[in-house]
Structure 1
Amino acid sequence: MDIIIQSTLKTLQKSKNLLDNLQDDTLCNTSLAPYYSSVGTHIRHILDFYDCIFNIDADKVIDLTARSRSKDVESKCDCAKNYLNSVIEKLSNSDFNMDDTVQVVDDLGLGKTQIKYTLGAVFAQANSHTIHHYAIINYILEGLNISFDDADFGYNPTTPKSIMSN
């Protein structure tokens, strides 16, 4: 299995551990300023990114703006777990060539644009994107006074351990 997929599966395991320790009311709690987002919206957003990759079309176009945005995934732990398990299963059974060139559609703030990537680059971006959202989730959990036993949750693997322990 490709190292990018292995790394992604390791990162997504953290979502599984998190969801196993949350209730629906915590998953969809939007009470914290300034953005009033929830753990569930971030989990859904993470998984939608991967789903967009799996929905690559015959012309090798991946549209990152075509996200499903399921409210059930954002608010129901069982739905979020099912979506996560679907993503993990697709990744585990994938045989992507990470050197394949694809076109990625995204909106960088000035409307949709199409950018040339390799599949490896898209999956690497998805993994980093996931970790970035874990950091935001960590802030939400902290604000809700919920502890989650994962010392490196939300930290990039390159973060020095001395910073993580502060």
Structure 2
Amino acid sequence: MSMNIIIQATLRNLENTRNILSFLSNEQLSAASIPPYYSSVGSHIRHILDFYDCILVESVALDLTSRKRNMDVETNCKIALNYYKVVIEKIKALEGTDLNRIVYVTDDLGLGKTEIKYTFSGLLAQATSHTIHHYAIISYIFEGLDIKVLNDSFGYNPTTPKSKSIN
């Protein structure tokens, strides 16, 4: 498999973030009124971008528990869009690099911090899948806020069987 495919799939998936930020108001971005978690679209966008920003550094040791968490991204579409652009440029800069390199990722899976050995391409694929998961939650929030999304596959993993209502 071409590593270019992983980069292109990541970029295409993240276009959803740009699309969301282009039509939401700051009030919609930061609305945290939908049960049961009362999280906002902005908190999920910030989390997605923080995850990528955290792994897109030139290091063999990456710590997912030590992300930026810029709270302004959660409440301001313009700031979030600027953050998105920074992340996109970092992803584009991966073209031609060794995505099969080994990285050691520190994460907390619920039992304390642990170090996990990945290939960078595996970590990038995990980040893309993780992004889709958060898009699904954002889709749920949109439903509660009565915000319509034009992309019927938004928040669905590409491997999810398509029902008649999903194109």
TM over 0.5: yes
- 2:51 corresponds to 1:20: no
What does residue 33 of structure 2 align with? 31
Distance 2:109 2:7 in 1: 25
Distance 1:91 1:163 in 2: 34
**Percent identity over paired residues:** 56
Structure 2 gaps, min length 5? none
Structure 1 gaps, min length 5? none
- 2:62 corresponds to 1:62: yes
What does residue 133 of structure 1 align with? 134
Displacement, 1:114? 0.2
Give the root-mean-square deviation of aligned CA atoms: 1.4
Give the secondary structure class of the aligned counterpart of 2:151.
coil
What does residue 91 of structure 1 align with? 91
Distance 1:69 1:52 in 2: 10
Large movers: runs of 4+ above 4 Å? none
Displacement, 1:160? 2.0
Q: Given the superposition, is the C-alpha separation of residues 163 and 108 from structure 1 closer, same or farther in structure 2, using an over 3 Å criterion? A: farther
Q: Does the 8 Å contact 2:132/2:155 carry over to 1?
A: yes
Displacement, 1:158? 1.1
Residue type of the alignment partner of 1:77: C
Residue type of the alignment partner of 2:139: N
TM-score normalised according to structure 1 size:
0.94
What does residue 72 of structure 2 align with? 72
Q: May I ask how many residue pairs the two structures share in their alignment? A: 164
Residue type of the alignment partner of 1:92: K
